[in-house]
Structure 1
């Protein structure tokens, strides 16, 4: 059987899934090629090393995710600015369901922090989180979001909670009511989080 040939964008998607399945430390360039069904020297020829292949796949995935979340920029309704945050979170759910491997890799690398997670944190996660921090500071000042350490709570509930649901749709199906749609469960989690962020009428 001849090894498969793939174009670069497809190869990057497949590499991302392979790293999510095998783990970075649990695989080698040869094992990646075998997992993907490509010739044993394809990855080495294109990327020269496992580390370079990982970075290329992750950069491609974050570029895809950021485009899905922010292009176009959500419209902000002055009467209810939290709806723009809801829109971004729904886009995050849709993008993660379409490509769950990036969320899985973030969770894996965060469990054993090192240079790879530091790279994702510095170049991709923190810039997006800073947007959330700035938005929540303004919304708290306006009395529209509850007081307290909202940014950290939002980050973990969205990245690990909602991101975990979106990237683990089979598990979400198994732990719900029989017949529940796991996609709708993820959307419901977005609604619950947005509702929890709102300042109560008594605190305004």
Structure 2
């Protein structure tokens, strides 16, 4: 005799019945919401709905909206950092510092093309001082080791790169060249052919990274 499946009680599911929360997927949804609508415009309830989970479960996991913003920004920044480190470590030991810098810049822009929300959030928060901008600056620009910074210092010690502060080329990379891949609607409007060509984005990334590295050379 076949045992019938248990019947769920009417009403909301019990806490144990909630679907498992994929943290990375949830943070991607949250980061995209903060990138699109800003911190004030983003809603915890809308983020939960987009992630396919309950508002209560999201609040229980991350707490306040500020805590969710921090977790989402950490997630996006650390993904960029890990990818850049992996790329530079995989290069041949005999590669020149300029070639390694070019590879790091290309990988950074490819990462932004795949996950543009993080640079969009930084662009939003960078327009005015506040605790969220302070968090980004202290945690990632001053408290995190980036291959770009180490490669620039190495090239300067060798006399290969110009003696400029890291903020100059990194800002050109992240917010200059980065805009080419993060602001897709703008680029599609300005240069419609680039978005339609199969290798258009790849060629744009390589050209932008090459210009930055060539500009660093003495």
TM-score, normalisation: structure 2: 0.77
Describe the superposition over 1:50-90 as per-residue Cα deviations: whole angstroms up to 9, x where unpaired.
Answer: 11111111112222211111115253666731111111111
Pairwise CA distance, 1:167: 1.1
Instruction: Give the structure 1 partner of residue 117 of structure 2.
Output: 101
SS at match of 2:191: coil
Task: Check 1:124–1:152 CA distance in 2 against 1; reply closer, same or farther (3 A cut).
Answer: closer
Describe the superposition over 1:161-180 as per-residue Cα deviations: whole angstroms up to 9, x where unpaired.
Answer: 12211212332233226355
Distance 2:139 2:95 in 1: 33
- Aligned pairs for 1:65-80 (under 5 A) are 65-72=80-87, 73-75=89-91, 80=96
Distance 2:90 2:160 in 1: 18
Instruction: Give the structure 2 partner of residue 91 of structure 1.
Output: 107
Unaligned runs of 5+ in 2: 1-11, 13-17
Q: Residue 144 of structure 1 contacts residue 198 of structure 1 at CA under 8 Å; is this kept in 2?
A: yes
Q: Residue 19 of structure 1 contacts residue 54 of structure 1 at CA under 8 Å; is this kept in 2?
A: yes
Instruction: Give the structure 1 partner of residue 216 of structure 2.
Output: 197
Instruction: Give the structure 2 partner of residue 17 of structure 1.
Output: 32
Is structure 2 residue 130 aligned with structure 1 residue 111? no
Describe the superposition over 1:116-146 as per-residue Cα deviations: whole angstroms up to 9, x where unpaired.
Answer: 2211221222345775455434423432123
Rg larger for: 2
Distance 1:187 1:193 in 2: 10
The count of residues paired between Structure 1 and Structure 2 equals 196
Task: Check 1:68–1:137 CA distance in 2 against 1; reply closer, same or farther (3 A cut).
Answer: closer
Distance 1:7 1:13 in 2: 10
Distance 1:165 1:117 in 2: 23
TM-score, normalisation: structure 1: 0.82
Instruction: Give the structure 2 partner of residue 185 of structure 1.
Output: 204
Task: Check 1:144–1:69 CA distance in 2 against 1; reply closer, same or farther (3 A cut).
Answer: same
- Aligned pairs for 1:3-14 (under 5 A) are 6-14=21-29
